[in-house]
Amino acid sequence: MIVKKAPLSFHRFLLRGRTLGLYREVMRRVYKIPSPQLRKEIRDYARGEFERERNVEDEEKIKYLISMGRKEMMEMDRYVGQL
């Protein structure tokens, strides 16, 4: 038996798009890291963070997580830039 999920509200749809956009941007930046070992570590970390928070339903928490993800992405850029 297939259980259908309720359709997303417009606001949740927009948050989902922002989340997917952040994930894509992180992965694009990760693949520019020259060191294969560091690239794998950061990619696995980022995937794990997104997967860990996958089932969050609270919109305020989702907004917070997106904000924190952007900050971590900027920190990653600074760290990688120093290598």
Q: What is the pLDDT of residue 75?
A: 94
Question: Which residues, other chains included, contact 76 with Cβ-Cβ below 8 Å and sequence gap of 6+?
Answer: 26, 29, 30, 42
pTM of the model: 0.86
Q: What is the pLDDT of residue 83?
A: 64
What is the total count of domains within the chain?
1
Q: What is the pLDDT of residue 8?
A: 84
Asked if the structure places residue 39 within a domain, the reply is: yes
Assess contact for 28 and 75: CB atoms under 8 A: no
One digit per residue, the tens of pLDDT, for the chain of length 83 reads 777 878 889 999 999 999 999 999 999 999 999 999 999 999 999 999 999 999 999 999 999 999 999 999 999 999 888 76
- Number of Cβ within 10 Å of residue 43's Cβ equals 15
Range of the domain at 74: 31-83
